[in-house]
Amino acid sequence: MAAKTQFLRNKVFILAGIMTLAVAGISTAEDTRATSDDESFLKDLSVEQREMYNVTRSPSPGSAASKPRGSGSQVAVWSDRKDRTYRIGEKVKMYIKPSKDSYVTVFNTGSSGKKHQIFPNQYQGDRFVKAGQTVEIPGKGADYDFVAGGPPGKDLVTVFATDRPGELADKSRLVASTGPFAAVSDPEGTFSKDLAVVLTNQHQNNWEGANLDLNIRR
């Protein structure tokens, strides 16, 4: 029993189709920015990923036209590889940097369509991030790594930075999983719409969104 307990302490896994987590030393990643504002990648996204992406594309004040939010005005997101491409089993590190004081929430939608809230998480519980501060996921000193778990395809990381505190996901939707991240319960497929409502009603135009697509290969 003790051996089994120790094994569970030393290996953590997220549901298939999102990312696999394994404990290992964390190396310092190169600060390489690679955000995805080009719509050409949309054709490769799943329905669930497109819905999350579209939440970040809301009409600008005084305009009926949809445009990307988060084009660097408030929050940037990038990974440790310029091409954002990882083979299954390789480590992944992400970075988020707001240009002004913000409350940050990050979701990951895997190639399977399953969603996790990856920030805040078990190890990084404070959503408040100061202007110009870079948040690393996994954070420095965390006893786990992101490892690309497959299946091959794309993972979509969606970042929201708001001027006001307040949870974007209802706690009833966040389900504890075997890893440091909460799984998002979305049996009826309404999470993206509900998220858009929260942003509109509680945060009006005082928020920005950004997306990062990760290419997962064999």
Indicate the range of 8-12, 44-48, 49-53, 125-129 predicted with least confidence: 8-12
Residue type present at position 193:
K
* pLDDT grade for 31, boundaries at 50, 70 and 90: very low
Question: Cis peptide before 165, with omega less than 30 degrees from 0?
Answer: no
Q: How far is residue 36's CA from residue 194's CA, in Å, rounded to a whole number? A: 24
- Its CATH architecture, for the domain 44-59+67-217, is Sandwich (2.60)
* pLDDT grade for 187, boundaries at 50, 70 and 90: very high
* pLDDT grade for 39, boundaries at 50, 70 and 90: low
Averaged pLDDT score across all residues of the chain: 77
Q: Would you kindly state where each structural domain of the chain is located, as residue ranges?
A: 44-59+67-217
Q: How many helices (H) and strands (E) does the chain have?
A: 3, 14
Highest mean pLDDT among 112-116, 127-131, 168-172: 127-131
**95 near 146, Cβ under 8 Å?**
no
pLDDT at 112: 78
Q: How far is residue 118's CA from residue 113's CA, in Å, rounded to a whole number? A: 15
Give yes or no for residue 134 having a pLDDT over 80: yes
**79 near 212, Cβ under 8 Å?**
yes
